[in-house]
C-alpha cells in the first residue's frame, strides 16, 4: 500500500458547556480541530485528528498543525502507511520536534493498518483488557460552590472521577478543593489539576492546606524542578502531565520517583506509536495513566479508547470522552459514554466514518 494523497480538513468544535476555563484564566469556547485523510493506492483511506487546547496550553496550535502537515506531506507521498516505524522515522527526520503535527498522521496510518488487516487498533495495540474504560470529567474553573455543583451534576451522568481545574489564586483553589471534596461520595476520586498554573510557593501553600483531604495533585507548577519540589513536600498522590512530553521525560521522572501517575496525551508525545511506547514503559513500571489527548472530537475519542482499552486495567487511571464535551460530530462510530465509561469499537482500524457534512471541503490537499 502507498500513500497517494493527504487531505486536510478544519472543523470548529464548540464546547457544550459554553466555555472551558483552566489555570491562569485561560479559556477556550470553540476548539480548532484538524482532521487528516490519507488516501492510498487501494480503496482504503485512513483518518486522524489533532486538536490543541487553544494556542497557549502546550506548544501547539490549530493553524500550526495544518502548516506542519503541509511541511511533512511531500515526504510521505509514496510511503507505505502501514509501515509505521519507517513512516515515523521519515517524519522525525523531515521535521524536528512538533510532535502534535505528526500525531494526526500517525493516527490515520494506524487506522489504515487496522483496515488493511481487518483488526481494530485496540487489537493491534495488544488486545482488550476488561469490559470498559472508566472516564473522568474535567470540572472547568468556576467559583468553588459552582464547581461542587458541577461535580454533582456530572455524577448524575455516571462519572465517578472528577478533575478540578485549579491553578488560580491559591486561597480560592483551596476553597475549590474543599468544596468539591465536601460533595464527594464513597468510591469517587478527586484530582486537583493546576495545569502548571501555581508558582512554587503558592503550590506549597495549597498542598499543605489540603493535606487532610483525599485528593490527587496534578502538575502544580510549570517547571519539572518545581513540581518535584512540591512532590517532596506532600504525602498526597501526585500526577505529572505537561512535563511528560516524551519517553526521555518519562524515564527521568521514573528515575527521580517524581510522580505516582502520569497523564498521557496522544498528540503531546507525537501520536499513537510514541504513546504506545510510553504506555508500555508505564505498564512495566506499574505506573497508572490517564490516557487522553489535549482535546478532540470523535476521531480522537476513538483513538483514546483503542489505546486505553489495550492498557491493563491496573495501570488505567482514567480516560476522556472528548466527543461528549463538544456539540459537533466529526465522525460516526466513535465510542459513546455509558454510565461513566466507554469502550473501543471492534470494527477494523479506529472504527469511525468521517462526517463530511460537518468537515466541509478540505482546506488543503497534497498529492
3-state helix, strand, coil in the chain (%, to 5): 40, 25, 35
Is the CB of 23 or the CB of 273 nearer to Mg ion?
23
Concerning whether 265 is annotated as a catalytic residue, the answer is yes
Secondary structure class of 2 (helix, strand, coil): coil
Nine-digit cell string for 333: 462510530
C-alpha cell recorded at residue 56:
497557549
Strand partners, 216: 191
Judged by beta carbon, residue 166 or residue 305, the one nearer Mg ion is: 166
- What phi and psi, each to the nearest 5 degrees, are found at residue 33? -105, 145
Instruction: Transcribe 96-110 into DSSP letters.
Output: -S-HHHHHHHHHHHH
Which is nearer to Mg ion, 113 or 217 (by Cβ)? 217
As measured in angstroms, the least distance from the Cβ of 44 to Mg ion is 35
Give me the least distance between CB of 127 and Mg ion, in Å please: 28
| Binding region for Mg ion (CB under 5 A) | 193, 241, 263
Give 264 or 305: the residue with its C-beta nearer to Mg ion.
264
Residue among 102, 115, 165, 268 flagged as catalytic: 165
The CB-of-221 to Mg ion minimum distance in angstroms stands at 13
Q: Which residue carries 487522553 as its cell?
A: 292
Give the dihedral sign, CA 219/223/226/231: positive
Phi, psi (5° rounding) for residue 32? -95, 100
CA dist 113 and 111 (Å) reads 6
Q: Which of 102, 115, 161, 265 is catalytic?
A: 265
Distant-in-sequence, close-in-space partners of 249: CB < 8 Å, separation ≥ 6? 224, 243
* Distance linking the first and last C-alpha atoms of the chain: 15
CA atoms of 206 and 173, how far apart (whole Å): 7
Of 270, 339, 282, 338, the closest CA to residue 308 belongs to 282
Q: What angle do CA 83, 352, 331 make, to 5 degrees?
A: 125
Backbone angles phi, psi at 49, to 5 degrees: -145, 145
Q: Which is nearer to Mg ion, 222 or 352 (CB)?
A: 222
Known active-site residue 102: no
Which value, to the nearest 10 degrees, does the dihedral of the CA atoms of residues 66, 70, 72, 74 take? 160
Residue with Cβ nearer Mg ion (84 or 210): 210
Q: How far is the CB of 120 from Mg ion (least distance, A)?
A: 27
**Residue number, 69 or 240, with CB nearest to Mg ion:** 240
* Minimum distance from residue 193 beta carbon to Mg ion (Å): 4
Among 336, 276, 314, 351, which residue's Cα sits nearest to residue 129? 314
Q: Which residues are catalytic?
A: 165, 265
Amino acid at each position: 500500500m502507498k500513500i497517494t494523497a493527504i487531505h486536510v480538513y478544519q472543523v470548529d468544535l464548540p464546547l457544550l458547556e459554553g466555555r472551558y476555563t483552566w489555570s491562569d484564566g485561560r479559556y477556550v469556547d470553540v476548539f480548532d480541530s484538524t482532521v487528516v485523510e490519507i488516501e492510498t493506492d487501494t480503496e482504503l483511506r485512513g483518518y486522524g485528528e489533532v486538536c490543541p487546547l487553544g494556542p497557549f496550553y502546550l506548544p501547539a496550535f490549530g493553524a500550526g498543525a495544518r502548516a506542519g502537515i503541509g511541511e511533512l506531506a511531500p515526504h510521505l507521498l509514496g510511503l507505505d502507511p502501514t509501515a509505521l516505524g519507517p513512516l515515523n522515522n521519515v517524519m522525525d527526520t523531515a521535521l524536528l520536534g512538533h510532535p502534535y503535527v505528526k500525531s494526526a498522521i500517525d493516527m490515520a496510518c494506524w487506522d489504515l493498518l487496522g483496515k488493511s488487516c481487518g483488526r481494530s487498533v485496540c487489537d493491534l495495540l495488544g488486545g482488550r483488557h476488561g469490559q470498559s474504560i472508566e472516564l473522568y470529567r474535567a470540572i472547568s474553573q468556576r467559583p468553588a460552590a459552582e464547581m461542587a455543583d458541577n461535580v454533582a451534576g456530572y455524577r448524575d451522568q455516571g462519572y465517578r472521577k472528577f478533575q478540578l481545574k485549579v491553578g488560580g489564586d491559591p486561597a480560592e483553589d483551596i476553597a475549590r478543593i474543599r468544596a468539591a471534596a465536601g460533595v464527594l461520595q464513597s468510591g469517587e476520586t478527586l484530582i486537583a489539576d493546576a495545569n502548571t498554573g501555581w508558582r512554587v510557593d503558592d503550590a506549597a501553600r495549597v498542598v499543605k492546606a489540603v493535606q487532610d483531604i483525599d485528593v490527587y495533585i496534578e502538575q502544580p507548577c510549570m517547571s519539572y524542578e518545581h513540581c518535584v519540589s512540591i512532590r517532596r513536600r506532600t504525602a498526597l498522590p501526585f500526577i505529572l502531565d505537561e512535563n511528560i512530553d516524551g519517553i526521555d521525560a518519562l524515564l527521568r521522572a521514573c528515575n527521580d520517583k517524581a510522580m505516582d501517575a502520569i497523564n498521557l496525551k496522544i498528540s503531546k508525545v507525537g501520536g499513537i506509536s510514541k504513546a504506545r511506547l510510553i504506555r508500555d514503559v508505564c505498564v512495566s513500571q506499574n505506573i497508572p495513566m490517564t490516557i487522553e489527548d489535549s482535546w478532540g472530537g470523535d476521531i480522537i475519542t476513538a483513538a483514546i479508547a483503542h489505546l486505553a482499552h489495550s492498557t491493563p486495567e491496573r495501570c488505567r487511571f482514567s480516560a476522556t470522552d472528548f466527543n461528549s464535551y463538544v456539540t459537533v460530530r466529526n465522525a460516526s462510530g466513535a465510542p459513546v459514554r455509558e454510565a461513566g465509561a466507554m469502550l473501543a469499537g471492534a470494527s477494523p482500524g479506529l472504527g469511525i466514518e468521517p462526517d463530511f457534512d460537518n468537515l466541509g471541503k478540505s482546506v488543503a490537499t497534497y498529492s
